[in-house]
Amino acid sequence: MTREIIIAGAQMGPIARVDTRESVVARMTTLLEKAARMGAQLVVFPELALTTFFPRWFMAEQQEIDVFFETQMPNESTEPLFTRARSLGVAFTFGFAEKVTENGIVRRFNTSVLVNIQGEIVARYRKIHLPGHSEHEPWRAFQHLEKRYFEPGEGFFETTDLLGGHFSMAICNDRRWPETYREMALRGAEVATIGYNTPLHYAQAPEHDHLQSFHNHLCLQAGAYQNGLWVVGVGKTGVEEGCGLLGQSCIVAPTGEIVSMASTTGDEVIVAACDLDRCAEIRENIFNFAKNRRPEMYPLLSAV
């Protein structure tokens, strides 16, 4: 029995601040339908897929911020996507801003969910590595207030069984950290799905702006190869509210090779047939962790 899964990345062009959830979900549904026509069994959408990337603005009023958050999932706005996916028998994953009340305390996370072909949420991941800053910094061309608007997730990079494989989620900045992929792989992941919103301009080191795409692919490819994982990195891209966002969403084989890549800065579907058994080519050989890792030599990696 083959363990090949056809996976799609559904890259998304800009979302304006005024765009309704319904209009965004309609775009996502169109992408999902196209992906299904291309054989996809799983569709990966970007981080914060339902709204514009709102951490670029400083907002003093929590009420104004909360407009961008979802208090339940699925909800009325996203139900059409869940329904269509279920009718097509396609699994999917996407990111959104999540507001939950736990033990009477309101908490906000940068979250993604994994939805099976029955339309059930089977995994939820809350972003661990929040980039940016927590205070208003007017000197910047735009803000990156993730550290203000979200609290960091406390879950690990756990794996979920889906479609006969083992999946882990990460979000945007998580993908830059080799720790992310290694924790996933040590927990048995075979596929990492990663949504992102990455501004082309990096205020603290603008001399690296031209390297954004290189750095994105470098991290995704190294993460794939050094762990024998399939990696699916999918961005929101194009010029969104005046801010250029990185595209070149891609699917990376366990060899580190990019096997499918977006070439527009708009809504675009990429697909690849991902044979999960190919993970073993790497994981049973050069990166055979049990045989070749030396965790006793890495005391600082987990040291708090």
Interface residues toward a second copy, by CB under 8 A: 128-129, 131, 152, 154, 156-157, 173, 176-179, 182-183, 186-187, 202, 204-205, 207-208, 211, 214-215, 218-219, 221-222, 225-226, 255-257, 281-282, 284-287, 292-304
Q: How far is the CB of 230 from a second copy (least distance, A)?
A: 16
Contacts 24+ apart (CB under 8 A), 82-89: 82/115, 82/119, 83/119, 84/29, 84/32, 84/33, 85/32, 85/43, 85/115, 85/117, 85/119, 86/117, 86/118, 86/119, 88/32, 88/33, 88/36, 89/41, 89/117
Active site residue 172: yes
DSSP 267: S
Active site residue 47: yes
Looking at the Cβ atoms of 196 and 287, the one nearer to a second copy is 287
Question: What is the amino acid identity at position 228?
Answer: G
Neighbouring C-beta atoms of residue 301, cutoff 10 Å: 10
Q: How far is the CB of 135 from a second copy (least distance, A)?
A: 13
Please give the full DSSP string across 274-288, using - where no structure is assigned.
EEGGGHHHHHTTTT-
Catalytic residue among 172, 219, 274, 279: 172
Taking the mean position of all CA atoms in its chain, how far away is CA 66? 21
Q: How far is the CB of 137 from a second copy (least distance, A)?
A: 13
Q: With the C-alpha atoms ordered 61, 206, 264, 32, is the resulting torsion angle positive or negative? A: negative
Q: In angstroms, rounded to a whole number, what is the distance separating the alpha carbons of residues 239 and 264?
A: 12
Neighbouring C-beta atoms of residue 219, cutoff 10 Å: 20
Q: How far is the CB of 145 from a second copy (least distance, A)?
A: 15
Which tokens belong to 106? 């309101």
Looking at the Cβ atoms of 117 and 203, the one nearer to a second copy is 203
Grouping H, G, I as helix, E, B as strand and the rest as coil, residue 181 is helix
Catalytic residue among 70, 98, 127, 146: 127
Active site residue 279: no
Q: How far is the CB of 28 from a second copy (least distance, A)?
A: 29
Q: In angstroms, rounded to a whole number, what is the distance separating the alpha carbons of residues 181 and 192?
A: 8
Give, in degrees to the nearest 5, the angle at Cα 68 between 65 and 70: 120
Looking at the Cβ atoms of 84 and 283, the one nearer to a second copy is 283
Q: How far is the CB of 215 from a second copy (least distance, A)?
A: 6
Q: In angstroms, rounded to a whole number, what is the distance separating the alpha carbons of residues 39 and 28?
A: 16
* Catalytic sites, residue numbers: 47, 127, 172
